Structures are given as C-alpha cells and as structure tokens.
Amino acid sequence: MSCVSRDSVMSNVAKRSLLVAASMIATASSVKDVVAADARPFVSYGCYQCHGYSGHGGSSGPRLSADVPYEGFRQIVRFPYGVMPAYPRELLSDEAMRAIYSFIKSQPPAPDRKDLPLLYDTSK
C-alpha cells in the first residue's frame, strides 16, 4: 500500500517535471521562432555567404538596401543581372522570398563610412 502510494507520488512528480520541461521547451522554441523566423532563410538559402550575415555586404556581394520595393527585390533575386546565381521559384518559394525581404528590412542600417576610420585612415 505504502509502496503504491510512493509510486503514485513519484509518478506525479515525474509528470509535473515533464510538464514543466515541456512548457519550457515550448516557450523557448516559440521565442526562438519569433526572433529567427525571418533570419533563417537568409542563412539557409546561402545569401549570407556573399552578402554577410546582416546583409551589410560580404566577401563577394554588395550591401543590400532596405529601401528597395519588394517587387524590385524579387525581380533581382529571380533574375540577377550579374554574377549572382538566380533563385527561381523551385529553389526559393515566394514565402521564403518575403521572409528574406522582411529580414533585410529589419536590419539596422550599416554604420556610415566616415564612422569607420579603418576604411579611410591609411596611417594606422
């Protein structure tokens, strides 16, 4: 009898801690999803490799402007005019395109060139 009740106490404790753990995971993943929802496609489709993690420009891609209207942005990504690879709909859905666009829009502007002495002060 006492053994049974201890078992049920243990299982209640176990159940409760499972619930707590599950709700912590649920909270963590939903916060993470909100924060990263727009960033993920920019990384997973490889844009960051050329344009940098914040779209401020990288080794081979220019800084991406947040002021371009969506239609123009989409046109360039589907039919780029230079060496950038094209991203047709089969590779990049309209939904992912929108997510990438809003990620770029959400980035704080890059610092002004005159605020970066390394770019113009060759005495250092």
Residues near ligand HEC (CB under 6 A): 45-47, 49-51, 60-62, 64-65, 73, 76-77, 80-85, 87, 92, 100
Instruction: Enumerate residues 6+ apart whose C-beta is below 8 A from 81.
Output: none
Helical residues (DSSP H) of 37-111, grouped into ranges:
39-44, 47-51, 70-78, 94-106
Least distance in angstroms from the C-beta of 103 to ligand HEC: 9
CB of 52 to ligand HEC, least distance (A): 10
Q: Which is nearer to ligand HEC, 11 or 93 (CB)?
A: 93
Q: Scanning the structure block, which residue is given the tokens 């220019």?
A: 62
Position with the least CB separation from ligand HEC: 82
**15: burial class by Cβ within 10 Å (0-12, 13-18, 19+)?**
exposed
Nearer to ligand HEC, 8 or 93 (CB): 93
